[in-house]
Amino acid sequence: MNMFAKNAAQSIDEYLLLVPEERKNDLNFMHNFIQKAVPKLTPYYASNMIGYGSFYYLDKKKKEKRE
């Protein structure tokens, strides 16, 4: 699965189900490890990948936003 290619997943659980078998164990291990190691980081699914926590960035108008 190419993380930049569109897929049918709309959530983290759906994404984890669509991961090829040869990558499932590693991806599930990392996902569970991050959640246990840093429970305050909220997992989210966006742009065909799992992210954790939030961050600040500047939009096109150089205005700070929080994601």
Indicate yes or no: pTM above 0.75.
Answer: no
**2 domain residue, yes or no:** no
pLDDT value of residue 35: 95
Alpha-carbon gap, residue 35 to 29, rounded angstroms? 10
Residue 5 lies in a domain: no
**55 located within any domain:** yes
pLDDT per position as a tens digit, 39-55: 999 999 887 889 998 87
Q: What is the pLDDT of residue 60?
A: 73
For residue 18, the enclosing domain spans 12-66
Number of compact structural domains in the chain? 1
Instruction: Write the DSSP assignment of 25-53 as a string of letters.
Output: HHHHHHHHHHHHH-TTS-EEEETTEEEES
Does residue 3 sit within a domain? no
4 assigned to some structural domain: no
